[in-house]
Structure formats: structure tokens, C-alpha cells
């Protein structure tokens, strides 16, 4: 496929994209805000604009924003005279960026990949570099980077075989896009090899930035205080669950659970009320974090219906089951649990974190099971075996400590791309 044909097809898809934005805005009002930014329109007095040098990082959604946090903080320290712009595609990602970074960075929605929109974006922000988290590849944005002499770097890059096959289907369009990156920072050797076959050049294996993330100490303290109030009840956390997983896991666990408190944290905020209704329909005693309801002795399930508090929920947990891995979503971030020292149970679908899952299982920090029934069995065994839980938690902390350092390796690549001398 040529880039011209791609652009025509993208223009034809715009009415659908706008309808979809409005439709998603029914449940997430953030999608109906700042729509002009998606078309490169910014108020003249926009806080997102700043004269002077600017570093631009694109992080599509919540996981990418949180994963980018160590790199953003390192960039601000290394380039104190530069502003940092973070763009997101999802409303939840934008809100997470606001929660994590506050006023320290500029935040905007990522522009639609149409040449005239991209031109407005670059004219407004004039970035010195484009840093793209994981595997967000937009041909017209990358072509604009080349045309304007803005180095583009793919950071914390991962690429599954399934995704690689998808890119191969569009042929030269993908090859030219990947080749236009000035440098690529790959999470692991497998991703690096796949990226090279797609045309990426100057690929460096830098490890996973998510190992460098530090849990929020204030949230950890709150979680431990809440844990202390439970009078010895064991806590099972279903972390970042996706659509359909709550029902299958609740059925496999056989709720309610004697002497256990189940903490359930859905991945997406638009599903909080839906999951609450599912729990209520099962007749379980429910408390909701968003309402500041504390779990009582009769509470069977504590719903973590807040954003930005995963460290609190992990500090509360004795065992964590990782969502997104029991339906075909590729799993959510198990590294967060390992960093807090929580034993992990993960399902069969882990293509978003293949290397981290392999390392965690090999280190004894995680157990991978084949289905929800297997997760229920593993959870019961772990909650009955304090010594094993402690050993797994310690293994997770050691694993994270051993794999830190990705941020520094990323900075070296970015300095080179910017043309700065190596430190």
C-alpha cells in the first residue's frame, strides 16, 4: 500500500472516527473534550504551547503513560531548559498523564494522521524530537518528522509475531515508516529481530522501562494502612481486569470466599458501574473505593473504581491475578505487582508482556495458568501457604531490581539522536 492510498482511506474513515468519539463519550466524557486537538487546533493561549525547545513523547493510553514515567522524569532532569509534551490517544491516557505529571509537562491529544492535521501540529509545537512509546507507527507523522528534520525514536518498543504479520500485510507502507525512525529502543531480542525485518534501523536492546518505575510511596502507605484494618483477612486482587474476565473469575473462585476479601480493579473506568452491577447481581457485599466506603467484615468484594491508585491496591494484596490474560487481550502489567512484592498469577494470554512473564515465572515470582479454573486453584494454594507467598514476593522484588537501568540506556540513544555528545 502506498502512503497516498493510506491517506485517502484515512480521510474516508474520518466520519466514522468522529461518530466513534462521540459514542465513546457517552461513558467517558473526556472523548468529547478537546476534539480540536485531534485536528491540530489549539487555542492561541493554550497552555500546551511553549516557546523554546520542546521534547515530544507519544504514549497512546494508560499503560504507556505509566510506563513512560521514568523516562519523562529523566528527560526533565537531563534537559531542564526543554519543555516536555505528552500526547495520548485515549481519554483515560490523557487523564493519567495529568495525574502522574501534573503541571510538569504539556498534555494534548495525538493528532489524526492526516497530512494537513500533522502540519498544524508541527507548526504549533515545533518539537526537537519525537519519542514514540512501544509500537505506535503513523506514516504521515513519521514522514513529517523526516521532512522537518525532527529525529523520531521508537522507545520501549515491543512487537509480537502477530503484530509483525499485520505490518507485513501493508508492505512498503510499513517498511518506509519503520525505516524512518532515527533509532529504535527494543525491550528484548525477539522484538528487536522482528523490528529489523520490518525495516527498522539502528536497533538497540535497552530493556523494559516499566522495570524502572517506582511505586508511589504515599499510595503504598495508604494500602498498608487499609490492610492493617482488615483484622487479618487475606486479600486477593484481580488487577486490571478486562471485559468478560470478571464473570469467569468470580465463577471459578466460587464467591463469596470465607475469610478472604476480594479486591477487583477493572482496567477501564467506563466499566466501573457495569462491574458493580455484576457484583450486586450475585448478591455479594460490596464496598466502592470511589465512594470512600471502607471494607467491613460483611464486605465480600472491594471495588477499586478509581484511577491512578494501583500501588495502593497492590500494597493491600496478598496475591494478585493479572487481568487481560484470561481473555485474548495480551495481559496487563505484571511488573507493578512484582515491584511491590506481591505474588502473581497470570493467565495464558500474555503477548503484551512475553519477556516479563517469562522472567517472572523463571524467577519464581509468578505462576502462569491455562484458564480461570487454574487461577482459582493456584490462588487457594498460595493463600494457604504464607511461606511460599513470601518467597514469591521477594523473588519479584529481586527481579525488578536486577532489570533496572533501561532509562539510562534510553537516554544514551536519545542524546545521540539529538546530536548531543555522549556523557
Nearest-angstrom CA–CA distance, 11 and 13: 5
Nearest-angstrom CA–CA distance, 112 and 372: 39
> Which cell is 252 given?
471459578
Nearest-angstrom CA–CA distance, 228 and 233: 9
Residue 257 DSSP SS3: coil
What are the distances in angstroms from CA 30 to CA 36, 95, 349, 423?
Answer: 13, 8, 30, 41
Angle at 106 between CA 101 and CA 107, to 5 degrees: 85
Nearest-angstrom CA–CA distance, 173 and 271: 36
Nearest-angstrom CA–CA distance, 116 and 120: 6
Catalytic residue status for 64: yes
Instruction: Confirm if 85 and 54 have CB atoms less than 8 A apart.
Output: yes
Nearest-angstrom CA–CA distance, 210 and 403: 10
Nearest-angstrom CA–CA distance, 229 and 237: 17
Q: Which of 64, 245, 246, 309 is catalytic?
A: 64
CB atoms within 10 A of CB 45: 6
List active site positions: 64
Amino acid at each position: 500500500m502506498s502512503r497516498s492510498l493510506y491517506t485517502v482511506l484515512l480521510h474516508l474513515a474520518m466520519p466514522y472516527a468522529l461518530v466513534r468519539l462521540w459514542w465513546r463519550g457517552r461513558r467517558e466524557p473526556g472523548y468529547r473534550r478537546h476534539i480540536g486537538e485531534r485536528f491540530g487546533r489549539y487555542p492561541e493561549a493554550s497552555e500546551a504551547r511553549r516557546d523554546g525547545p520542546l521534547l515530544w513523547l507519544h504514549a497512546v493510553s494508560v499503560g504507556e503513560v505509566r510506563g513512560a514515567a521514568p523516562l519523562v522524569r529523566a528527560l526533565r532532569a537531563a534537559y531542564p531548559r526543554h519543555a516536555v509534551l505528552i500526547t495520548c490517544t485515549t481519554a483515560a491516557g490523557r487523564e493519567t498523564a495529568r495525574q502522574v505529571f501534573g503541571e510538569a509537562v504539556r498534555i494534548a491529544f495525538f493528532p489524526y494522521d492526516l497530512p494537513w492535521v500533522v502540519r498544524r501540529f508541527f507548526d504549533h509545537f515545533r518539537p526537537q524530537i519525537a519519542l514514540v512509546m512501544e509500537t505506535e507507527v503513523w506514516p504521515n507523522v513519521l514522514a513529517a518528522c523526516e521532512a522537518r528534520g525532527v529525529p523520531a525514536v521508537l522507545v520501549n518498543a515491543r512487537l509480537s509475531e502477530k503484530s509483525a504479520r499485520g505490518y507485513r500485510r501493508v508492505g512498503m507502507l510499513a517498511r518506509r515508516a519503520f525505516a524512518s525512525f532515527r533509532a529504535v529502543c527494543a525491550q528484548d531480542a525477539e522484538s528487536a529481530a522482528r523490528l529489523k525485518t520490518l525495516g527498522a534501523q539502528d536497533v538497540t536492546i535497552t530493556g523494559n522501562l516499566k522495570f524502572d518505575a517506582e511505586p508511589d510511596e504515599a499510595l503504598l502507605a495508604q494500602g498498608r494502612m487499609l490492610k492493617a484494618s482488615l483484622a487479618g483477612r487475606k486479600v486477593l486482587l484481580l488487577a486490571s481486569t478486562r471485559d468478560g474476565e470478571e464473570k469467569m473469575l468470580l465463577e471459578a473462585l466460587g464467591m463469596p470466599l470465607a475469610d478472604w476479601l476480594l479486591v477487583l480493579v477493572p482496567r477501564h473506568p467506563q466499566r466501573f458501574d457495569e462491574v458493580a452491577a455484576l457484583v450486586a447481581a450475585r448478591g455479594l457485599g460490596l464496598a466502592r473505593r470511589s465512594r470512600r466506603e471502607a471494607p467491613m467484615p460483611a464486605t465480600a468484594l472491594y471495588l477499586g473504581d478509581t484511577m491512578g491508585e494501583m500501588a495502593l491496591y497492590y500494597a493491600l494484596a496478598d496475591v494478585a491475578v493479572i487481568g487481560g490474560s484470561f481473555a485474548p487481550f495480551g495481559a496487563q502489567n505484571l511488573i507493578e505487582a512484582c515491584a511491590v512484592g506481591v505474588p502473581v498469577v497470570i493467565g495464558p494470554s500474555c503477548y503484551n508482556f512475553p519477556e516479563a512473564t517469562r522472567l517472572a515465572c523463571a524467577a519464581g515470582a509468578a505462576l502462569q495458568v491455562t484458564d480461570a479454573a487454574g487461577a482459582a486453584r493456584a490462588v487457594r494454594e498460595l493463600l494457604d501457604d504464607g511461606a511460599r507467598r513470601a518467597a514469591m514476593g521477594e523473588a519479584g522484588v529481586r527481579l525488578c531490581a536486577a532489570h533496572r537501568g533501561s532509562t539510562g540506556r534510553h537516554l544514551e540513544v536519545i542524546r545521540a539522536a539529538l546530536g548531543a555528545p555522549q556523557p
